[in-house]
Amino acid sequence: MGRLRLRGLGCAPLDPVELDIGPGECVTLSGPSGSGKTLLLRAIADLDPHTGEALLDESRQTDLPGPDWRRRVGLLPAESTWWGERVREHFPGAPDGLLEALGLDPGCLDWGLPRLSSGERQRLALARLLSRAPQALLLDEPTASLDADNAARVETLIAAYRNRHAAPVLWVSHDATQRARVADRRLSIRQRRLVEETP
Amino acid sequence: MSVIALSPTDLGICAGLVLALAGLSHRLRLGLGRRLLVAGLRSAVQLGLLGMILRFLFTQAHPALIALLALVMLLVAGYEVVARQQRRLRGPWSFGIGTASMFLSSFTVTLLALTVIVGPDPWYTPQYLIPLLGMLLGNSMNGIAISLDQLTRAAWQQRPVIEGRLMLGQDWDQAIGELRRDALRSGLIPIINAMTTAGVVSLPGMMTGQILGGSPPMEAAKYQLMILFLIAAGTGFGAVAAVWLGSRRLFDERQRLRLDRLAPLKAK
């Protein structure tokens, strides 16, 4: 179970945000570059100083140590970063089924990082996040460097994950057709506010 | 054996060499002539003053005066650590962390050397205290300055990696651990190199001085060895303290990376 609630959450380019995302609900977010989409995700993950409060079920962000909160509210950044020599070092254990679901070669865990293409990195970053079983997902353009087939795999995997774990999802996407496919509710940023997206 | 005193003419000849180098630098348009002269003049004034102060201290040996000189040396070293940072921590932190780490390491090691190892009477005899403290401060200053500079630079450049680790729920200690180890390695390499080549490639300054001053070579070697070990310990422990405190300061109570706590790039 999980319900993500933002109570007057304020970060630089946005007015304080009120938002509820229910268990298993997928809310998409769009808006021009620089309108504050990424900064909003960062504030929810508590990576930047901000005002207001975020809650996951009854747990307040400020009641939990930062790392605990970020383990529960998983942020997938637009650009993934890697620090080890091999892919495997970035996973807590065996990522059961995740690699196959994303169309990745299970042997890629033993690959060196330089060998990965940008599309492989993006999918591996998602697998790396999901293998830690966060209770809520914040996704920053998770399919930006993927072809249509792999984008579909990502969409399917995320849909399965939020159904199985009743995880709320906030998904930043520039692709209107994707938003139409995946969203229960579509929001966009207009004049510093989150509003219902209009076609 | 006694020291052969240097006359003003002797020093004048040496200074002439530096003047000649400055002239050459001017001809080659290296743009260093002026800085060379200023640095030479500074060293002459500073060492002359130090000689006078020490002569006075050695006759007085008053604890308060010695403490005052030690304090001045510490503060200047702290200032120097700050000056060598490309991206230093804002506010009093850079100076505070550098000075506190040097105080912890250099002063404790000097105290240990004076009370347990060398054992002059009284322990604060300035002939021993001031040179020992000077060497320890000078070297740990280098190690701490290099380590802190490396740490803050790397944190700035590798922000996405550190934050990527935070996003996966790692705590600040894990997220910056690799950078901290790198910073410490950089700070400790100079003293490790110094120990490696001591006596083979380089004749260390202190030993040279003692031999010129008429000490038996074996005694000079033993003193040099003691100093090298003390410097290694002082530099190492000081750098560990500085890097730990510095890296802690890069994160706030929510364990967020706070690069806004670094001052903007210094124009060079």
Q: What is the pLDDT of residues B221-230, one digit of tens each?
A: 998 999 999 9
Give the closest residue to A172 by CA, choosing from A49, A48, A31.
A31
Å from B241 to nearest chain A CA?
24
Q: B193 at the A interface (CB within 8 A)?
A: no
Q: Which of A66, A79, A132 is nearest residue B168 as measured by Cβ atoms? A: A132
Q: Scan residues 44-63 of A and list those with Cβ closer than 8 Å to B.
A: 45-49
- Spell out the per-residue pLDDT of chain A, length 199, in tens: 689 999 999 988 899 999 999 999 999 999 999 999 999 999 999 999 999 999 999 999 999 999 999 999 999 999 999 999 999 999 998 888 999 999 999 999 999 999 999 999 999 999 999 999 999 999 999 999 899 999 999 999 999 999 999 999 999 999 999 999 999 999 999 999 999 987 6
Q: Closest Cα to residue B97, out of B262, B257, B235, B246?
A: B246
The answer to whether residue A39 neighbours chain B at the CB level (below 8 Å) is no
CATH number for the region A4-196 comes to: 3.40.50.300
Instruction: Kindly write down the DSSP assignment for every residue of B151-212, as one continuous string.
Output: HHHHHHHTHHHHHHHHHTT--HHHHHHHHHHHHHHHHHHHHHHHHHHBTTTB--HHHHHHHH
Q: Model pTM?
A: 0.88
B173 close to A (CB below 8 A): no
* Domain-wise residue ranges, chain A: 4-196
Among A180, A177, A137, CA closest to A157:
A137
Binding-face residues of A in 149-188 toward B, CB within 8 A:
none
User: Per residue in A6-48, pLDDT tens?
Assistant: 999 998 889 999 999 999 999 999 999 999 999 999 999 999 9
Copy the structure tokens of residue A14.
Answer: 């946005």
Residue type, B50: L
**Contact yes or no for A16/A8 (Cβ under 8 A):** yes
Q: Residue B210 — very low, low, confident or very high, per pLDDT cuts 50/70/90?
A: confident
Is A70 within 8 Å of B256 when comparing Cβ atoms? Answer: no
Chain A closest CA to B216's CA: distance in Å?
A: 53
Q: Where are the domains of chain B?
A: 1-60, 62-261
Tell me, what's the ipTM?
A: 0.94
Contact A46 B164 (CB under 8 A): no
